[in-house]
Amino acid sequence: MIRKTSKRRGTSVIAALVVLCAVLGYGLTEWKPLTDTPQAVPASREAPGKGRVPEKISIPEKGEPVRLFTINAGNYFVPEDPRRSNFQVKYKPVEAREAVAELIRQSGAEIVGLSEMGGEAAVRDLQMRLKRKGVQLPHKVLVMRNGEDRGLALLSKYPIVDNRSVTDMPVSGETKRKKTMLRGILDATVKMPDGRLFRLVGIHLKSRLSRDGSAEDTRRREAYALRDYLNEAIASQDGMPLLLYGDFNDGPAASAVQVIQGPAKTEYRLNRLKPRDSRGETWTIYYEDGDTYHSFDHLFINNTLKKRLGRKPPMGILDSPPSRQASDHRGIWVELR
């Protein structure tokens, strides 16, 4: 009896071990990391659109025209704004601020993109002057980088439903160079009453002035960073009309502008518009020192918006008398559909 019981117990123990080993073996061979386990974020930015499903944007067909006007407001500084750098800034005279507001009124714009705005107080000052002229642009976005006095602003009659602006946009380059775009990227989506959406990206690249002659290199590095950003923006929202506007401080043939425009015959290509003034001229800034005229302010549209606007959308350069007093730049406009 003792031998039979021991044998049965031994058999039971062996069977239990076999089952346990099988369970453990299955668990080890089939184990996978949990899908919600935090993963390390790579140091470099992910390639645009890589490994992600683009958001499909469905919006109504083109409706009533919506006019966008953009201008470099010419150092729109007011005393109420705090200074953000050690550079001495001159407050914009009241007459010049009134001229900026009058240009916007004359443009008939419902959306206004601005560069060289001094901050929140400057934006409020302009909104107040516009309101006095019967122009209501209550919705706004302001991008101000720490250490930089000049900011980007967007004023709109219509609601801003998405704001993806980047204050500190990384740029690559030498260790001694600045690591972010000087003025960042304004990126806002405006929604029309009929449901149409327009994604508006505003920029102001490095000026042509520098103590060490590095301005052109800085603009080129900013251009590459902006191009990466635009690639991701276009890839992430399939069907979204996108417009890029601003002061590029370079003409259309410059390498920085060519980089931003992107490769031809691809979905990432941006199409440059060519507005003209009342005399058919295309310049947007005049340098008295050297007596030269340049086209440094540009409008670019993606392929989606190009299809909506057609070959020759209404557009122009505002050259009425207030433009001489408002800024050293001339404002440009286009009608969106």
Taking residues 266-276, report their average pLDDT: 96
Cβ contacts of residue 115 below 8 Å, gap of 6+? 71, 72, 73, 150, 151, 152, 153, 183, 202, 203, 204, 246, 247
Residue 36 has pLDDT above 70, yes or no: no
The pLDDT value given to residue 253: 95
DSSP SS3 for 88: coil
Q: Apex CA 160: angle with CA 152 and CA 242, to 5°? A: 75
Residue 4 has pLDDT above 50, yes or no: no
DSSP SS3 for 95: helix
Taking residues 266-290, report their average pLDDT: 95
Taking residues 50-58, report their average pLDDT: 76
Span of 81-95, 103-117, 189-203, 221-235 with lowest mean pLDDT: 81-95
Place of tokens 């775009």: 181
Average pLDDT, the chain: 85
Segment 6-14 long-range contacts (CB within 8 Å, at least 24 positions apart): none
The pLDDT value given to residue 42: 27
- Tens of pLDDT, residues 118-134: 999 999 999 999 999 99
Residue 282: Cβ-neighbour burial (10 angstroms; 0-12, 13-18, 19+) = middle
The pLDDT value given to residue 177: 61
Residue 174: band (very low, low, confident or very high) from pLDDT cuts 50, 70, 90: low
The pLDDT value given to residue 34: 29
State the CB neighbour count (10 A cutoff) for residue 217: 16
Q: What is the identity of the amino acid at 306?
A: K
- Tens of pLDDT, residues 77-96: 999 999 888 888 899 999 99
Residue 44 has pLDDT above 50, yes or no: no
Residue 1: band (very low, low, confident or very high) from pLDDT cuts 50, 70, 90: very low
| Residue 285, beta-bridge partner list | 294, 329
Using the CB atoms, write b or e for 21-41: b if 16+ within 10 Å: eeeeeeeeeeeeeeeeeeeee
Residue 283: band (very low, low, confident or very high) from pLDDT cuts 50, 70, 90: very high
| Residue 190, beta-bridge partner list | 160, 198
Residue 39 has pLDDT above 50, yes or no: no
Percent of the chain scored above 90 by pLDDT?
A: 71
Task: Check residue 329 and report its DSSP letter.
Answer: B
Cβ atoms of 221 and 260 within 8 Å: the answer is: no
Residue 5: band (very low, low, confident or very high) from pLDDT cuts 50, 70, 90: very low
For residues 308 and 57, what is the distance between their CA atoms, to the nearest angstrom? Answer: 14
Handedness of CA 220, 54, 269, 273 (dihedral sign): negative
| Residue 13, beta-bridge partner list | none
Residue 291 has pLDDT above 60, yes or no: yes
The pLDDT value given to residue 43: 28
For residues 201 and 40, what is the distance between their CA atoms, to the nearest angstrom? Answer: 30
Percent of the chain scored above 70 by pLDDT?
A: 82
DSSP SS3 for 242: strand
Cβ contacts of residue 255 below 8 Å, gap of 6+? 220, 223
The pLDDT value given to residue 95: 98
The pLDDT value given to residue 46: 36
For residues 185 and 167, what is the distance between their CA atoms, to the nearest angstrom? Answer: 6
Which of 170, 175, 202 lies closest to 186, judged by CA? 202
- Tens of pLDDT, residues 139-165: 999 999 999 999 999 999 999 999 999
The pLDDT value given to residue 84: 84
The pLDDT value given to residue 37: 27
Taking residues 165-191, report their average pLDDT: 88
For residues 279 and 261, what is the distance between their CA atoms, to the nearest angstrom? Answer: 27
Which of 241, 228, 233 lies closest to 299, judged by CA? 241
Tokens coding 126:
């302009």
Quote the distance between the C-alpha of residue 33 and its chain's center: 37
Cβ contacts of residue 146 below 8 Å, gap of 6+? 84, 167
How many Cα atoms within 13 Å fall on the side-chain side of residue 31? 7
Residue 214: band (very low, low, confident or very high) from pLDDT cuts 50, 70, 90: confident
